[in-house]
Amino acid sequence: MKKIISAILAGAVMCTSAVALAGCGGSKTESKTESTTAASSAASDKATADTPEKGANGELHMATNAFFEPYEYYENEKIVGIDAEIAEAICDKLGYTLVIDDMDFDSIITAVQSGKADFGMAGMTVTEERKQAIDFTDTYTNAIQVIIVKEGSDKVTKIDDLNTASIGVQMGTTGDIYVTDLEKDGAAVERFNKGADAVLALSQGKVDAVVIDNEPAKAFVAQNEGLKILEEPFENEEYAICVAKGSDLTAKINAALKELKSEGKVDEIINKYIKA
């Protein structure tokens, strides 16, 4: 039913706020009355009551880097994962059709700034520096930067050992930012376009460690023999969606996110991909 409504809304660029709400306000019944629409309109933030304007044909383009399991990755031709599903749920609520654009991680913020993409969602950590360039929505989950090493290697067994190690990171990530600080202490940093390439370099003995987010780290370790994650966490972080500075999409996404959180939908999606 929701799919059908989204499809109709996708065609109806000019949909009014009432129609948009009827399509995305969360009612599961077909017999929505004026009064329930009015009630949900009053209950929801102003953001969801506005007519969606961004994106031709009611599409919202999400910029991501789809090599970041379990947040975004390819299953056959399709990009799936926690971010993909939360984005889909947000778009359902707001009456947009989601289109996912895959690119290098360090192109995402530029794409959002330039309007090439409407928002960026890529396991992206909220940082003060990024906030200078784009706006962040409310956060939707926490994460940790961890260190992956080769099993049996004693070169890096704790954070302090990074100072004298060669470290692989994904370019432009917070892992990159943190270890850049260590370069002046003697760390040698190798930057890769994909986390997977950093992990490959580790497997091949070209770097001593990789600093990357915990969940992708677990996926990489599961897929590559002879690697392990150090128990000592490197840095705690929070993920949010990034939007062009000053865009009214921030408030709309926040309103949708708030509903999805209180409905338990965000937890449900996360638990589907991350088993306790």
103/188 with CB nearer ligand GLN: 103
Smallest gap from residue 265 Cβ to ligand GLN (A)? 22
Which one, 242 or 255, has the nearer CB to ligand GLN? 242
CB of 97 closer than 8 Å to CB of 60: yes
CA distance 71 to 82: 4
Secondary structure of residue 64 in the 3-state scheme: strand
Between residues 5 and 274, which has the closer beta carbon with respect to ligand GLN? 274
Nearer to ligand GLN, 173 or 250 (CB): 173
| Binding residues for ligand GLN (CB under 6 A) | 65, 68, 105, 122-125, 170, 173-174, 195, 213
Alpha carbon 103 to its chain's center: 13
Nearer to ligand GLN, 27 or 173 (CB): 173
The amino acid at residue 80 is: V
**Nearest distance in Å: CB 29, ligand GLN:** 38
CA max distance for the chain: 68
Single-letter amino acid code for the residue at 86: I
Distance CA 187, CA 176 (A): 12
Closest distance of CB 209 from ligand GLN, Å: 16
Give DSSP secondary structure letters for 168-190.
EEETTSHHHHHHHHHHTTT-EEE
Shortest spacing between CB 177 and ligand GLN, in angstroms: 7
Q: How many CB atoms lie within 10 A of CB 157?
A: 14
Closest approach, Cβ 261 to ligand GLN, in A, equals 20
